[in-house]
Amino acid sequence: MSDIKSAELIEDQILWLRKDVGTTPMHLVKLVYIAHGWMLGRYDCSLICEDVEAWTYGPVIPSTYHRYKSFGGDEITSNPVDQTKDFTKEQSEHIQEVVNAYQGYSAITLSAITHQPGTPWDIARREFGTGCIIPNDVIKRYYKKLADEGPKKSKWHLPSPRRIRMLHTSKL
């Protein structure tokens, strides 16, 4: 499964899946990053073909940020289209699982999750400084560890939303 996608395609799919839920730019930036991280940790392959950078307030895919920054903290008002046909079955299911698992999280909580001590953002900033690229191998190691701490049913399924909350909050 090495069919890497643009962040824009992932954004469109997430917005479509969340069409009935208010989604701010911060939600979107964090969900694209989290989906990419879980893909690296679970499948050992990238989801997006763009770099993630360690900005002051967390990990960011610059193109995603710039595409939606005009909305500020407001909900993104667009007419998303289902992009399922552009994904492999595994990618489509993976994105759906991430959206479902993190559905109840506020943008602020998603942000807090992604820049706790020991996260890829924290490690990259300490080692390389603010604004650096967060290496995919650092992201992969972190999410693989989270996956290994989750239920041992199958690497093909994300932990439940409750278990994800426990995994992330145990790191706070």
Q: Where exactly are the structural domains of the chain?
A: 7-169
Which among 102, 104, 84, 81 has a CA at the least distance from the CA of 93?
84
Round to whole Å and give the CA distance between 16 and 50: 21
Position 149 scores a pLDDT of: 76
Position 160 scores a pLDDT of: 59
Question: 101 near 31, Cβ under 8 Å?
Answer: no
Query: Mean pLDDT for each 10-residue chunk of the chain (172 residues)?
Result: 82 95 95 96 93 96 96 93 91 94 91 92 96 97 86 51 60 46
Position 147 scores a pLDDT of: 83
pTM given for the model? 0.89
Structure tokens at 107: 């943008």
Round to whole Å and give the CA distance between 62 and 88: 25
Position 154 scores a pLDDT of: 41
Identify any residues that bridge with 59 across adjacent strands, giving them in sequence order.
54
Position 68 scores a pLDDT of: 96
- The amino acid sitting at 12 is D
